[in-house]
Amino acid sequence: MDRIISLILLLASLQGIILSFALFFRERGRTENTLLSIALLIISLALAVAYLLSTDHSRYPYLVEITAPVVLIILPLVLLYAKILTGSISHISTLQLLHAIPFLFYMLYKSRFYFLDADAKISFFERVYVRNELLVPDIIEGEFLGAFGVVYGIWMFLVTTQYRTKVKNVFSEIETIKLSWLIVISGSILVLNLAAFIITNLQILEIDVPFVIHFLTAIGGSIFLYVAGYFTFYQPQLFYKNHVQLVHNIALLDQKPSTHKRHDEEKKYQDYLDKILDVTERKEIFRKSSLSIKEFAEMVHLPVYLISKVINKRLSENFFTFINKRRIREIKKALEDPNDKRTIIEIARDNGYISKSAFNSSFRFFTKTTPTAYRSQFNSKTIK
């Protein structure tokens, strides 16, 4: 079992190093990819340390606790990666450097340990990780690192879910903007840190924790690297070509008018809604494929933020729902017509859908059935 775990750690470490360099050189100059590649490299090196300690910790005393502050580096890096990728921030400002403060303070606290001799470090490792004997300083340190990891994990998960909401307020189709990889990253980080926090608290309660369990987070880190590797090389959305356009649309969405102007606009919400609905139906804007809210705003001659707010406030819908509801309505009419000889895919494309899977997903969401089943209902009625 121990040899299998060691092998997993070694392979994950090697893959992570290759992945981090591939990511760095594949899209050079993009801050978010640089941040992620650095984070992956640090995780890989931490796994390499875990591999060496899992084989024979007495041979590598200088590596004991060397990876303890890693969580204080990785999580801020990945959080900043997510924030830049989702448009929450555009660059690394001085304010963002405040994320480094916990790491600096922890290093000051831990510096004394790093200057201990080899025997003292081996003794510490065996006391904490083999015999599960924690002293008060160990408990405080473990609780701090665990709480830090959980807080940052939740923070990143919130950034990700808010991004998902914003995307639906920006595009009529999100099939090409896959978010699963970002959900996987944030969810994995949260789960790994919760696991580490639970392990620490089990030790505090003096519950016997097997030595192999201490490498649970390292094994989780290995799985994380494998998943990240898959999404990096097989999911093109990690290098989303229209990322700049996406961030620009979100920025327009977040624009805020002056207080006086906002009050004037709120009084005219119904007028704005009438205009939006009139232009949408008259020009059949919803038939345009890959429609963004910026393009829609140019056709309606209203600001992006105002269109989004009116649709949200008056219809309780996001832009994605607003457009797709009208597309499906027209498609249903065509499917109900026995004289319409177009195929289902042709009808879908005529109403703005490029992707078959996006169309099927939307149709099922709004009608609770499939396009084929829906059409057959009316064909059978005609036959009768």
Give 189-217 as a DSSP string: HHHHHHHHHHHHHHHHTT----GGGGGHH
> pLDDT band at 23, cuts 50/70/90?
confident
- Rounded to whole angstroms, how far apart are CA atoms 172 and 352? 9
Residue indicated by tokens 């121990």: 2
Q: Are 378 and 335 in contact (CB under 8 A)?
A: yes
| 236 Cβ contact partners less than 8 Å away, ≥ 6 residues apart | none
Longest dimension (CA), the chain: 90
Q: How many CA atoms lie within 13 A of 97 on its CB side?
A: 2
pTM of the model: 0.70
The answer to whether the Cα torsion of 178, 184, 190, 191 is positive or negative is positive
Q: Which of 84-88, 173-177, 201-205, 348-352 has the highest mean pLDDT?
A: 348-352
Q: Are 27 and 232 in contact (CB under 8 A)?
A: no
pLDDT value of residue 12: 79
How many residues appear in the chain? 384
pLDDT tens for residues 261-280? 556 666 688 889 999 999 99
Q: Which residues partner with 292 through β-bridges?
A: 171
Residue 9, pLDDT > 90, answer: no
CB atoms inside a 10 Å sphere around CB 274: 13
Q: Are 169 and 293 in contact (CB under 8 A)?
A: yes
